[in-house]
């Protein structure tokens, strides 16, 4: 059966106290609405319709994609009114309603819900709550059949005793929706067009309402303020940490690990405390990551070691390569197998060949460094003349003396050597020594200045 998904995301989110529309606030580095859209995509619907209102332009701009239909709700007159705005674009046999500020809803839960909706039946996701204050209550008859949803503000004292709450997530037969939405009224405590009133209408039309519950109540938790946002974030991170541990990763402390993107892991990976993984990260078997590392869009091959306090962005470490502590690997930094980058070394768009080493305090940018070459402490590739960038190319087994400045464009042949403190401005042939510094002279019997008397 075909499926349309409507995501409600027009609300203001006053309690966030933010210039950013509520649904754009991130959980695990991705906007709440982005999470909901990605989950919706997994259900392979024929259309995803996002109802926007507050901050509509910003939401549309940030999330624009070919498979999304944005629908403007100019005034927020209620959840029923919001869905009605999308109505002209709906044509599927089933319509699923989701919420842009309920980001942790799981695909599996929605699939279970969708199994229960049909041409002649609705499916409602409900949750049993210890404190259902504020939630719509699920009213059932003596046989347990759902009769209606009554909003908290409209509920009688007896109805307020009901602990089964409405999550808001609902799947309905598409052919009936227009009729029901057209008959909604706003004569209720909040003066809004309630989507929830559709339930009683369906029952009156003779359609049963099936219910389903999420595995975990946090799946249907919305974020109205930054406290709830932080709770969702922690819950997401705990889940991510558990999934990684189940795949054979040791997390020194699962409470001090953050995933803000996607990671694939091999077995026997060790991750120390306060590590943040962002974007797409690939971690192969036996990799070790020290404390306080931020690793974004990077690939760590088998047995690679990232020592404490390193920052990687768009980098690749070959098998058995290592970097840090305090290494900074920027986009295009590639370490060959067993290559080594030590403390306070920055690489950008630079390839270190197999077994090559840059042990201390260097900047290597736009550079190609051959296998087994050794870069002395304090070496700088001068790759920028203020207008253009130039490359430094080095062969294999090159030895760069400490504190050398390699003024690009420049190339050094295999087994070339530079003397410490050299400024290298012209190419160095293979097997030769380049010394580009002032010659030392010693002055015999040099008398040091002495302090003047009186
Ligand atoms: C709604 C449900 C309630 C349920 C609760 C769960 C209704 C009438 N009530 O109540 O039964 O227990 O969610 O959290 O549906 N929105 C729009 N346009 C509007 C109004 C709302 O896009 O005109 C969006 C909001 O941005 C929000 C969501 O719909 O994401 C829910 O709206 P809200 O006003 O918070 O509904 P509740 O009163 O919490
Ligand atoms: Ca709400």
Domain match, 18 and 98 both: yes
Ligand 1 center to residue 43 CA distance, Å?
A: 23
Residues 246 and 153 in one domain: no
pTM: 0.93
- Confidence band, pLDDT 50/70/90 cuts, at residue 302: very high
Write the DSSP assignment of 69-96 as a string of letters. Answer: EEEE-SS---HHHHHHHHGGG--SSEEE
Q: Are residues 32 and 80 in the same domain?
A: yes
Question: How much is the pLDDT for 232?
Answer: 98
> For 13-66, what is each residue's pLDDT tens digit?
999 999 999 999 999 999 999 999 999 999 999 999 999 999 999 999 999 999
Q: What is the mean pLDDT of the chain?
A: 97
Q: Are residues 169 and 77 in the same domain?
A: yes
Query: Does residue 136's CB lie within 6 angstroms of at least one atom of ligand 1?
Result: yes
Confidence of residue 206 (pLDDT cuts 50, 70, 90): very high
86 and 168 fall within a common domain: yes
User: What's the confidence (pLDDT) of residue 454?
Assistant: 79
Judge if 75 and 15 occupy the same domain: yes
pLDDT of residue 291: 98
Give the domain CATH number at 311: 2.160.10.10
**Is the domain of 377 the same as that of 397?**
yes
* Cα 186 to Cα 299: distance, rounded to the nearest angstrom: 55
User: Residue whose CA is closest, atom 26 of ligand 1?
Assistant: 11
Residue 309, pLDDT score: 98
* 208 in the same domain as 270: no
The answer to whether residue 25 is catalytic is no
Of 179, 196, 220, the position where a domain reaches its end is 220
**What's the confidence (pLDDT) of residue 73?**
98
Rounded to whole angstroms, the Cα distance separating 52 from 48 reads 13
For the cut 90, the answer to whether the pLDDT of residue 6 exceeds it is yes
Ligand 1 nearest-atom number relative to CA 10: 22
Alpha carbon of 9 to ligand 1 centroid (Å) = 10
Consecutive H or E run containing 405: strand 405-407
The answer as to whether 197 is a domain residue is yes
Q: Which atom of ligand 1 is nearest to the CA of 75?
A: 23
**Helix or strand holding residue 210 (H, E):** strand 209-212
Residue pLDDT, tens place only, 116-174: 999 999 999 999 999 999 999 999 999 999 999 999 999 999 999 999 999 999 999 99
- Please tell me the predicted confidence (pLDDT) of residue 23: 97
Give the end of a domain, one of 199, 220, 241: 220
Q: How far is the CA of 80 from the centre of ligand 1 (A)?
A: 9
Judged against a pLDDT cut of 90, whether residue 326 lies above it is answered with yes
Separation in Å, CA 47 to CA 70, 74, 119, 172: 11, 21, 18, 15
Q: What is the pLDDT of residue 12?
A: 87
The stretch 188-201 carries a mean pLDDT of 98
Number of residues assigned to the chain: 454
CB 121 within 8 A of CB 1: no
Q: Identify whether residues 199 and 244 lie together within a single domain.
A: no
> Is the pLDDT assigned to residue 181 strictly greater than 90?
yes
Which residue range forms the structural domain that includes residue 109? 3-220
Identify the CATH number of the domain in which residue 187 sits. 3.90.550.10
Residue 409, preceding bond cis, omega within 30 degrees? Answer: yes
């Amino acid at each position: 059966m075909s499926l349309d998904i409507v995501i409600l995301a027009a609300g203001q989110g006053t309690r966030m106290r933010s210039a950013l529309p509520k649904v754009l606030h991130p959980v695990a580095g991705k906007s709440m609405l982005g999470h909901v859209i990605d989950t919706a995509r997994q259900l392979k619907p024929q259309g995803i319709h996002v109802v926007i209102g507050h901050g509509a332009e910003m939401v549309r701009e940030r999330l624009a994609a070919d498979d999304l239909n944005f629908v403007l709700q100019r005034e927020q007159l209620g959840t029923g009114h919001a869905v009605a705005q999308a109505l002209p674009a709906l044509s599927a046999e089933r319509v699923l309603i989701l919420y842009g500020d309920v980001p942790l809803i799981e695909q599996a839960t929605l699939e279970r819900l969708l199994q229960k909706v049909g041409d002649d039946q609705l499916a409602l996701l409900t949750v049993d709550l210890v404190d259902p204050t504020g939630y719509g209550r699920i009213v059932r008859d003596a046989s347990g059949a759902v009769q209606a949803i009554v909003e908290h503000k409209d509920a009688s004292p007896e109805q307020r005793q009901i602990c089964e709450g409405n999550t808001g997530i609902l799947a309905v037969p598409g052919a009936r929706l227009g009729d029901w939405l057209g008959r909604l009224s706003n004569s209720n405590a909040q003066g809004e067009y309630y989507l929830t009133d559709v339930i009683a209408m369906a029952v009156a039309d003779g359609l049963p309402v099936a219910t389903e519950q999420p595995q975990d109540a946090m799946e249907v938790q919305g974020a109205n303020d930054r406290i709830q946002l932080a709770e969702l974030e922690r819950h997401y991170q705990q889940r991510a940490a558990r999934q990684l541990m189940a795949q054979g990763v040791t997390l020194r402390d699962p409470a001090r690990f953050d995933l803000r993107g996607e990671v694939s892991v091999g077995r026997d990976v060790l991750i120390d405390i306060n590590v943040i993984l962002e974007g797409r990260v690939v971690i192969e078997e036996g990799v070790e990551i020290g404390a306080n590392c931020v690793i974004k869009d990077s690939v760590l091959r088998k047995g690679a070691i990232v020592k404490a306090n390193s920052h990687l962005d768009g980098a690749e470490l070959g098998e058995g390569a290592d970097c840090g502590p305090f290494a900074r690997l920027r986009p295009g930094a590639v370490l060959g197998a067993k290559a080594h980058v030590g403390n306070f070394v920055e690489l950008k768009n630079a390839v270190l060949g197999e077994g090559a080493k840059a042990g201390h305090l260097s900047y290597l940018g736009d550079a190609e460094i051959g296998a087994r070459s050794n870069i002395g402490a304090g070496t700088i590739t001068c790759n920028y003349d203020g207008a253009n960038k130039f490359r430094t190319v080095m062969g294999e087994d090159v030895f760069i003396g400490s504190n050398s400045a390699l003024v690009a464009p420049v190339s050094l042949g295999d087994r070339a050597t530079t003397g410490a403190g050299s400024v290298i401005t012209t190419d160095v042939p293979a097997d030769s020594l380049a010394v580009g510094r002032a010659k030392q002279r010693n002055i015999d019997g040099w008398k040091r200045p002495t302090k003047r008397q009186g």
